[in-house]
């Protein structure tokens, strides 16, 4: 029987990258959804494996019918700050496996609250499966496993320009500046202001030294639940550095009420996206990830550091989710319940799928 995959939000940059990765690595039939008209979608069709279904997530009956006619659902319709667990709950009720590319703390908590229900129905649901979170979390797991005891995780990312993603990612960035968030430092939760405490991190070429800042990501708490460490640091930055300074101004200078206004967020997102369309020609659209885990090995202090560089952030996100979809379809990854990726994906399978896609870890 041919596998049938439903990708919600599959016409966006990330959703399209997920679809293309799955089409390249499996024989599955893929249905991508969006609110564009069928005529427009036909012109955009990338592969004979991929078909388009016009669907609005607010159409609950249409959504449930679409879910029921597939055997894997991948939720790519962000920003996830605006989403609840409706899609996941529908998948659980229909007994359909589920993945998503979520990157929001509140959404992640809503999804994890469905763990018991998914386990009872035998549904494997893996969340946060893109590039960060996603591949980054698996890099941390790989590093933690090389130590006898891990104490501190420092995970940092830098993205060039738009990262090859669409305006939705811009919206996600500005939405993440709205409120202070909790981080795990020295065995206690502390409130941190977004885009604060700049650090200069040495990334691999072509990025070199780049500034990164505290940013609210699901990894900030899922890694704490996944590994018994004292500290988890998650920081993010942009290239060129001008974008870091502009984002810092938005986080620290703009009135709080302005940042919480949907019209303001949309204005900032559209302006930023237009700026990156120009700067992408010079900066590229790649990503670098650096995972550093400190602890003990053979009763001695030790630090394990791993890095990854990819020339296209959106393509890398597609590989992160697509590789997990491939494993679920092949029956190699079956774990009923709802799990962040680092709790579901073994290091062996992670390395296998990354190597198959030519993504190198150093």
- pLDDT tens by residue, 184-201: 999 999 999 999 999 999
Angle at which helix 13-25 crosses helix 313-329, to 10 degrees, equals 50
Instruction: Please determine, for residue 353, whether its predicted confidence score (pLDDT) is greater than 50.
Output: yes
Phi, psi (rounded to 5 degrees) for 121: -95, 0
CATH number of the structural domain spanning residue 274: 3.30.360.10
Query: In this structure, are 265 and 140 located in the same domain?
Result: yes
Query: In this structure, are 277 and 332 located in the same domain?
Result: no
Evaluate whether residue 361 is within a structural domain: no
Domain hosting residue 286, numbered range:
135-310
pLDDT at 67: 98
Evaluate whether residue 243 is within a structural domain: yes
Query: What total of structural domains would you count in the chain?
Result: 2
Instruction: Please determine, for residue 36, whether its predicted confidence score (pLDDT) is greater than 80.
Output: no
Q: What residues pair up with 278 in beta bridges, in sequence order? A: none
Closest alpha carbon to 164 in 345, 335, 286, 42 = 286
Whether this model's pTM surpasses 0.75 = yes
The 8-class DSSP code of residue 203 comes to: P
Query: In this structure, are 190 and 126 located in the same domain?
Result: no
pLDDT at 43: 43
| Mean of all residue pLDDT scores within the chain | 93
Query: In this structure, are 305 and 163 located in the same domain?
Result: yes
Query: In this structure, are 188 and 280 located in the same domain?
Result: yes
Query: In this structure, are 254 and 336 located in the same domain?
Result: no
Query: In this structure, are 139 and 126 located in the same domain?
Result: no
Closest alpha carbon to 244 in 233, 256, 236 = 236
**Which residue blocks in the chain are alpha helix, DSSP H?**
13-25, 38-43, 60-68, 86-94, 105-112, 115-120, 135-144, 167-175, 219-226, 241-252, 256-259, 262-283, 313-329, 341-344, 347-356
Query: In this structure, are 109 and 162 located in the same domain?
Result: no
Strands 300-310 and 181-185: unpaired
Q: Is 6 left (phi over 0), alpha (psi -120 to 50) or beta?
A: beta
Q: What is the pLDDT of residues 67-123, one digit of tens each?
A: 999 999 999 998 898 899 999 999 999 999 999 999 999 999 999 999 999 999 999
CATH number of the structural domain spanning residue 55: 3.40.50.720
Query: In this structure, are 291 and 198 located in the same domain?
Result: yes
Query: In this structure, are 156 and 213 located in the same domain?
Result: yes
Three-state DSSP class for residue 168: helix
User: What is the helix, strand, coil percentage profile of the chain, to 5?
Assistant: 40, 30, 30
Phi, psi (rounded to 5 degrees) for 174: -70, -35
Q: What is the pLDDT of residues 133-174, one digit of tens each?
A: 999 999 999 999 999 999 999 999 999 998 888 787 788 888
Query: In this structure, are 277 and 158 located in the same domain?
Result: yes
Residue by residue, DSSP assigns 66-98 as HHHT-SEEEE----GGG--SHHHHHHHHHT-EE
Evaluate whether residue 165 is within a structural domain: yes
Instruction: Please determine, for residue 40, whether its predicted confidence score (pLDDT) is greater than 50.
Output: no
Query: In this structure, are 193 and 233 located in the same domain?
Result: yes
């Amino acid at each position: 029987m041919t596998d049938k995959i439903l990708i919600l939000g599959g016409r966006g940059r990330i959703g399209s990258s997920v679809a293309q990765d799955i089409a390249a690595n499996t024989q599955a039939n893929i249905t991508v959804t969006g609110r564009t008209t069928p005529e427009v979608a036909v012109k955009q069709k990338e592969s004979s494996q991929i078909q388009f279904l016009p669907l609005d997530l607010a159409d609950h009956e249409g959504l449930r019918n679409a879910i029921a006619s597939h055997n894997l659902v991948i939720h790519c319709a962000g920003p996830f700050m605006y989403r609840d667990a409706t899609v996941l709950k529908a998948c659980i009720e229909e007994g359909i496996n589920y993945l998503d590319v979520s990157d929001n703390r509140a959404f992640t908590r809503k999804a994890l609250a469905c763990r018991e229900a998914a386990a009872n129905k035998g549904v494997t649901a893996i969340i946060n499966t893109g590039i960060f979170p996603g591949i980054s979390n698996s890099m941390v797991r790989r590093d933690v496993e090389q130590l006898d005891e891990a104490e501190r995780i420092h995970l940092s990312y830098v993205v060039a320009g738009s990262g090859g993603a669409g305006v939705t990612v811009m919206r996600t960035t500005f939405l993440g500046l709205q409120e202070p968030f909790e981080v795990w430092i020295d065995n206690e939760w502390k409130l941190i202001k977004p885009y604060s405490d700049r650090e200069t991190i040495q990334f691999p070429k072509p990025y070199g030294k780049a500034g990164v800042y505290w940013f609210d990501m699901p990894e900030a708490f899922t890694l704490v639940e996944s590994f018994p460490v004292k500290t988890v640091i998650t920081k993010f930055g942009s290239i060129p550095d001008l974008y870091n300074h502009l984002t810092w101004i938005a986080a620290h200078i703009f009135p709080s009420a302005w940042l919480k206004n949907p019209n303001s967020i949309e204005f900032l997102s559209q302006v930023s996206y237009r700026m990156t369309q120009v700067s992408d020609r010079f900066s590229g659209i790649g990503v670098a990830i650096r995972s550093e885990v400190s602890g003990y090995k053979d009763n001695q202090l030790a630090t394990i550091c791993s890095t990854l560089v990819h020339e296209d952030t959106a393509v890398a996100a597609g590989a992160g989710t697509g590789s997990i979809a491939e494993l679920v379809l092949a029956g190699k990854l079956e774990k009923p319940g709802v799990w962040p990726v680092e709790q579901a994906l073994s290091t062996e399978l992670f390395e296998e799928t990354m190597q198959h896609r030519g993504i190198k870890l150093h």
